[in-house]
Amino acid sequence: MVYKERAKEWYKRALQEKDDFVKFLLLFISLEVSAKLTFNKLREIKQDELIKNKFYDKMDPKYLVELKRKLDEKPLQNMDSNGDLRWDGRLNSVNDFDGVIEFSIRARNNLFHGDKGLDEERDLFIVKAGTRILQPLVEAVIL
C-alpha cells in the first residue's frame, strides 16, 4: 500500500510542475514506484491488457500519430552504444504499446545518463512527448 501512495504523491507533484524535464522525471518516478505493486520489471507492463486499454482510453490518438511520424523521420536512438538494442526507436503503429513503453524507458535512460540537454530542440521534443505519454500511462496504472 505504501508504494501506491508514494506513486500518487509523485504523480500529484508532477501535475504541478511547469518545467517539462522535471515533470517527465516525476512522472517516471511515479511509474517506477507504481510498477513495484504488480511487476518485477517495468517492461512487464507491456503484457497487461487492462493497463494497455486504460492507456489508450486516456491517450490522444492524434498525438500518437504525430509522434509516430516524427520517430519515423528520426528514431529515438539509444545513446549508449553498448546499451539495449531490443527496440529500433520507432513506433510500428499508434497501437504499438510495446514501442510506447520502450520510448518512455529510452527517453528516461538517455536523460538520466546525461545524453539529453536542456537547450536542444530534439531533446525538448523527446521529453515533452515522454510527458504526454507518461501522464496517461501513470493514470492507467495507479488511478
Q: How is residue 47 written as a grid cell? A: 503484457
- The chain-wide mean pLDDT, for the chain, equals 89
Q: Does the model's pTM come out above 0.75?
A: yes
Q: How is residue 122 written as a grid cell? A: 530534439
CA 71 – CA 126 distance, rounded (Å): 10
Q: Judge whether residue 9 has pLDDT over 70.
A: yes
Per-residue model confidence as pLDDT tens digits over 84-128: 667 888 999 999 999 999 999 988 987 875 655 556 777 888 999
Amino acid, single-letter form, for residue 125: F
Domains of the chain, by residue range, sit at: 2-142
pLDDT of residue 83: 62
pLDDT of residue 78: 76
**Closest to 7 measured CA to CA, from 111, 108, 135:** 135
pLDDT of residue 119: 60
- The DSSP secondary-structure symbol of 36 reads T
